[in-house]
């Protein structure tokens, strides 16, 4: 299924907040016609209203895709709007953290093709990464269709098992927030050392963006790239002795942060 089939049969987006909006922005930027998109959202933002998509109207009976982007806690209230599309040709794609395929099968039937996905907000600029896994009714063609749709906003990886989704959520789903917090705090640290705050923020943003681009483009692994910055007994080494401290440094901090996200993802599965 390519954008042509979505254009013909339509795409329903249930919930268009931060993540649904980021994906929609990516699809529209890549040429998906707003005419093909039907959004259900109780309080459409000004941006959403300006896009030209159908808003809170009658939904198509047989859309190519129904993408679920409401918060896990809203499922009970929100999913019935999609029930009429069950058991047919519509591919359900959920991006909700925690909510299991079993929960969607209980709503739409196990014969409905359902793909659970975990994207991230860099999708808004085509630089997201999304992990996907399908239910038993999802054919290779359904997974290909989900991949086509989601690869319009970044990379797509396929999981062997749904149980990997909690860890994916803790690494790449929530991960952009960790990086944004690093930008914020790196800039604050620069300002604390006397830099004008705006300059410190520009330096921090460009450093994180540049390092990310280099990590992606380079054949060297991130550990070697780190070594390449670190002159013996130089400034980086002094900083890394703080950041790599076994008890208080990044390794332990990120271990605990990711574990907390994974734990919360598992809790969300329980509703
Ligand atoms: N934000 C992120 O980085 C990521 C989020 N996700 C997942 O995406 C989903 C959405 O998260 P996020 O975008 O951050 O949350 P938001 O709260 O920003 O978006 C959810 C949207 O759904 C709307 N909504 C609430 N009730 C209904 C309903 N009954 N029918 C239709 N729409 C409804 C909300 O409206 P209102 O605000 O008026 O209630 C809101 O606009 C979550 O399940 C989350 O786990 C996955 C990966 C990354
Ligand atoms: O914070 C959350 O629950 C969602 C899921 C991943 C990113 N945001």
- Given 125, 146, 165, the domain boundary residue is 165
0.90 surpassed by complex ipTM:
yes
Give residue ranges with CB within 6 A of ligand 2.
97, 169, 173-174
pLDDT one-digit tens code per residue, 30-70: 889 999 999 999 999 999 999 999 999 999 999 999 999 99
Which among 42, 93, 168 is the best mutation to test ligand 1's pocket, defined by most ligand atoms within 8 Å of the CB?
Answer: 42
Q: DSSP secondary structure string, 136-181?
A: TT--HHHHHHHHHHHHTTEEEEE-S-GGGHHHHIIIIISHHHHHHH
Which among 15, 18, 19 is the best mutation to test ligand 2's pocket, defined by most ligand atoms within 8 Å of the CB?
Answer: 19
Is residue 170 included in any domain, yes or no?
Answer: no
Is residue 11 included in any domain, yes or no?
Answer: yes
By residue range, what is the domain housing residue 26? 3-165
User: What ligand 1 atom has the least distance to the C-alpha of 81?
Assistant: 30
| Same domain, yes or no: 234 and 153 | no
- Given 119, 135, 165, the domain boundary residue is 165
Ligand number nearest to the C-alpha of 122: 1
Closest CA to 250 of 240, 259, 264, 260: 240
Give the global pTM.
0.95
User: What ligand 2 atom has the least distance to the C-alpha of 265?
Assistant: 3
Q: Quick one: pLDDT at residue 87?
A: 80
The number of folded domains in the chain is 2
| Same domain, yes or no: 201 and 115 | no
Q: Looking at residue 99, what DSSP letter applies?
A: -
Is residue 257 included in any domain, yes or no?
Answer: yes
CATH number of the domain residue 56 falls in: 3.40.50.720
* Residue 268 Cβ < 6 Å to ligand 1: no
Is residue 181 included in any domain, yes or no?
Answer: yes
Q: Quick one: pLDDT at residue 20?
A: 95
203 is in an annotated binding site: no
Which residues neighbour 245 within 8 Å (Cβ) at sequence distance 6 or greater?
none
């Amino acid at each position: 299924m390519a954008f042509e089939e979505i254009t013909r049969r339509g795409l329903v987006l249930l919930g268009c907040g931060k993540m649904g909006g980021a994906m929609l922005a990516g699809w529209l930027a890549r040429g998906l016609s707003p005419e093909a998109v039907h959004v259900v959202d109780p309080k459409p933002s000004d941006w959403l209203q300006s896009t030209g998509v159908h808003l809170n109207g009658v939904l198509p009976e047989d859309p190519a895709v129904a993408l679920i982007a409401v918060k896990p806690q809203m499922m009970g209230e929100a999913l019935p709007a999609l029930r009429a599309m069950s058991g047919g040709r519509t591919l359900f794609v959920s991006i909700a953290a925690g909510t299991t395929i079993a929960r969607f099968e209980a709503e739409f039937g196990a014969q409905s093709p359902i793909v659970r996905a975990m994207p991230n907000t860099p999708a808004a600029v085509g630089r997201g990464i999304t992990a996907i896994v399908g239910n038993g009714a999802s054919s290779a063609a359904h997974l290909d269709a989900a991949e086509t749709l989601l690869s319009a906003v970044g990379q797509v990886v396929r999981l062997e098992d749904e149980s990997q989704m909690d860890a994916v959520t803790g690494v790449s789903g929530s991960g952009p927030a960790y990086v944004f917090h690093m930008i914020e705090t790196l800039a604050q640290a620069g300002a604390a050392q006397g830099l004008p705050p705006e300059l410190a923020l520009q330096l921090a943003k460009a450093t994180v963006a540049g390092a990310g681009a280099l990590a992606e483009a380079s054949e060297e692994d991130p550990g070697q790239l780190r070594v390449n910055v670190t002159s013996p007994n130089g400034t980086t080494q002094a900083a890394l002795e703080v950041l790599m401290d076994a008890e208080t440094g990044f390794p332990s901090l990120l271990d605990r942060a990711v574990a907390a996200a994974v734990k919360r993802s598992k809790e969300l599965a329980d509703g």
